[in-house]
Amino acid sequence: MTAATTSAAPRIREAGDSALLLELSAAIDPDINARAIAIAAAVRREAVPGVRDVVSAYRSVAVFFDPLIADARSIAAVFHRAGDEPVHVERREAVEIEVAYGGEAGPDLDEVARSAGCTPQQVIERHTAHSYRVFMLGFLPGFAYMGPVDDSIAAPRRATPRLRVPAGSVGIAGRQTGIYPCESPGGWQIIGRTAAAVFDPARTPPALFSPGDYVRFVRAQSTNASGTSPIGLVQGNSDASPRGFAPQATARSITVLRPGLLTTIQDEGRWGHQHEGVSVSGPMDIVAHRMANALVGNPRSAATLEMTILGPQLRLEQSTVLAVTGADMEPTSDGAALPNYAPVLCRAGSVISCGQRRTGARAYLAFDGGIDVPPVLGSRSTHLLSGLGGMNGAALRAGDRVPLGVPAGPRHRPVNWTHPGTGGARLRVLPGPQEEYFSPDALDVLQHTRFTISPQSDRMGYRLSAARPLNAPAGDMISDVTFAGGIQVPPSGQPILLMADRQTTGGYPQIATVISADLPAAGQLAPGDWVEFEVCTLAQARAALVEEEGKLLAFS
C-alpha cells in the first residue's frame, strides 16, 4: 500500500453494458478514498431508477444498473453531480477488536517476525500500536481492507494459500490487514484470531465495519497454552450465516432423495449488498430461470433449483406443477419422460429424476409457488463460499425437505425453445474497464484465441486456458471492483471469466466484459468446452439485450 502524491483526473469507464466505474486516482490516498466514499453516498441518495448497487473501493466508485431501465449517460451525469459536492471528512471513533495472537490462533506470527527481523512480541506491539482505516469491503461478506500496516511488519501473501482459514482470523498482506469473517481459502499471513462477529446477516447493518471506519486491535488479556484466548474464538461459518434455519414439514414441500452433482436454490440474486462484500449470486442462466418460473405461473423473482451437469432425484410430497428449462438432463417423472419447456402437473409422491446433461450445463426446475426458504439479505439465492441463502447456505443434500410456496398465477402454455448447445460458445464483449494494463494488440489477440474451460471452474468463475496465453498485465493493480462477465488476466496470462458468485473485488485487471445478453450462454458452458470472444459496441450490446427481453416478455 502506497500513498499517492499526485492523482490523475477522474475517469469514467464502462464495465460491460450494466456498470460504470469512476476512477479517481492512480494510487491509494486516504483523501481520495474519502472522496470515493462520499461520491458513493451521494449516488445512493439520488436513488436513480434502475441502479442496483453502488460500491466504493480504494480509489474508485462502481455503479451497477439495469441497462433496460437506466443508461450509462444518466449514471455518468450522477457521477459529475456527486463529484461537485464538498467532502466532509469526519474522523470516527475507532472500533476496538480484541485479538488472541500467535499459537493456534496465529500460525504465521513467528514467520512474520522472522521476516521482519524482530520478535513475535514486537510484531504484536506494532500491529496494535495505532488505528487502521477501512478503505473498502470485499473478497468475502464484511471483509474490510484496512491499513496501512507498519512498514517493518508488512508481509507478502503466502506462496501457497491455505484451503481453510478459520473465521475470525486476523491477517497481514503487504501493508494491509484484515479479519476473515467466515471460514474460507486465503493467502494472508495469519497472526491472530478474534471472536468478533465481523458479518451477521441478521444484524442491521450486517457488516461490522463500513468504508471510512477506523479499527484498533487490542491484545486479549490472557491466552491459554495454545495461544488462543478465553474470549471464545469464532469457528466455521457460525457467525457468518443463518445456521439456525432448519426446514420443517410444510403444507407443500419436496424431499431430496439424491442431490445430483451440484443443485442449489437460486432467485434473481442478492442485489444491494456488494458494498458490504456480498456477492450477487443468482442463476448462471437468467433466461432459463425466468422461463421456468413463467411456465408454472411464478413471478420472475421466485426461486428455482439450478442443477449442474448431473441432476437430482426428488419426491413431491403434494401434487405440484413443475417445469424444466435450460440444459437437457432427460428429466423423468416416475420413469416417464418429462417434456422440457412445458408445465406438467405431477401427483403427490411422484419421483422426479434428472440425469446426465445431453446439452448445456445447467437446467432449472421451477415449482408453482416457488421455493419458500427464508430470504437472507433480500434473496433466497445460495452463495456457497459465505454460506448465505438456500438450504443453510449449502447445496442440496439427501434428506433435505425443501418448502414450497403457495401457487400465485396461471401457468403458461408449453413453448418450443432451443436448448443451449454443448461444446462451446462465442461471447460478445466490451473493452475494459482496465484495458490500459495490456498491450495495444491485446484485444485483438483475445478475439483470435480459442480458450478451453478448465476443470478448476465453478460458479465464481471459469479458468480459461490456451496454447498461447495473453500477455501478462503491465504492473500490479490495486484491488478494485469486479463485474459479472469480467475477464480477469492474472500474471500467467490465462484469463478468468467471472460469473454469478464472483467476489465483489479483485486484484487482477479486467481486459473486457461479456455483455449482459451473452451471460446466459456463458452460464451453460462446462469444463472442457471452448469459448471465444468478439468485441462489439455498446449500441450492439443494448440491442441484443432489448431483443432478448422482447422474446421473454412475449413468452411470459
pLDDT for 84:
77
Please give the full DSSP string across 40-101, using - where no structure is assigned: HHHHHHHT-TTEEEEEE-SSEEEEEE-TTT--HHHHHHHHHHHHTSPP---PPPPEEEEEEE
For the cut 80, the answer to whether the pLDDT of residue 9 exceeds it is no
3-class secondary structure, 443:
helix
What span, in angstroms and rounded, lies between the C-alpha atoms of 188 and 154? 11
Do the domains at 11-83 and 95-219 have one common CATH topology? no
* Sheet with 51-56: strands ordered across: 11-14, 19-23, 60-65, 51-56
Task: Tell which residue, 68, 76, 70, has the closest CA to residue 14.
Answer: 76
What pLDDT was estimated at residue 374? Answer: 97
Longest dimension (CA), the chain: 73
Query: Is the pLDDT assigned to residue 245 strictly greater than 90?
Result: no
Please report the pLDDT score of residue 231 as a whole number. 43
Tell me the mean pLDDT in the region 256-267: 98
- Residue type at position 470: L
| pLDDT digit string, tens, across residues 469-505 | 898 888 778 899 999 999 999 999 999 999 999 999 9
* pTM strictly above 0.75: yes
In terms of pLDDT, which residue wins out, 503 or 556?
503
Q: What's the confidence (pLDDT) of residue 228? A: 42
Q: What is the pLDDT of residue 336?
A: 96
So what's the pLDDT on residue 155? 93
Assign domain 424-555 to a CATH class.
mainly beta
pLDDT at 223: 53
* pLDDT, tens digit (0-9, with 9 covering 90-100), for 117-139: 999 999 999 999 999 999 999 99
Q: Which residues pair with 97 in a beta bridge?
A: 217
Span 62-84, pLDDT tens digits: 999 999 999 888 899 999 888 77
**Residue pLDDT, tens place only, 99-115:** 999 999 999 999 999 99
Q: How far is CA 251 from CA 76, 254, 317, 393, 401, in A?
A: 49, 10, 9, 23, 12
pLDDT at 224 over 70: no
- pLDDT (0 to 100) of residue 75: 92
Given a cut of 60, whether residue 444 has pLDDT beyond it is: yes
> So what's the pLDDT on residue 556?
65
CATH placement of domain 11-83:
3.30.1360.40
Q: Is 95-219 assigned to CATH 2.40.100.10? A: yes
Which residues are 364's β-sheet partners?
A: 306, 325
- Taking the alpha carbons of 17, 18, 23, 28 in that order, is the dihedral positive or negative? negative
For the chain, what percent of residues have pLDDT higher than 90? 80
Q: What cell was used for 499?
A: 460469473
pLDDT one-digit tens code per residue, 37-53: 999 999 999 999 999 99
Q: Where are the domains of the chain?
A: 11-83, 95-219, 253-403, 424-555
39 vs 87: CA distance, rounded Å: 9
Residue 378 has pLDDT above 50, yes or no: yes
Distances (CA, A) of 180 to 164, 171, 444: 11, 8, 39
Q: What pLDDT does residue 230 have? A: 40
Q: Rounded distance, CA 95 to CA 217, Å?
A: 8
Confidence of residue 89 (pLDDT cuts 50, 70, 90): low
Task: Name the nearest CA neighbour of 249 among 162, 164, 317.
Answer: 317
Lowest pLDDT segment from 165-174, 297-306, 417-426: 417-426
Task: Look at residue 333 and tell me whether its pLDDT is greater than 60.
Answer: yes
Nearest one of 67, 33, 2, 29 to 541, comparing CA atoms: 67
pLDDT of 371: 98
**Beta-bridge partner residues of 98:** 218
Residue-wise pLDDT tens digits, 179-201: 999 999 999 999 999 999 999 99
Cα-flanking dihedrals φ and ψ of residue 332, to 5°? Answer: -135, 155
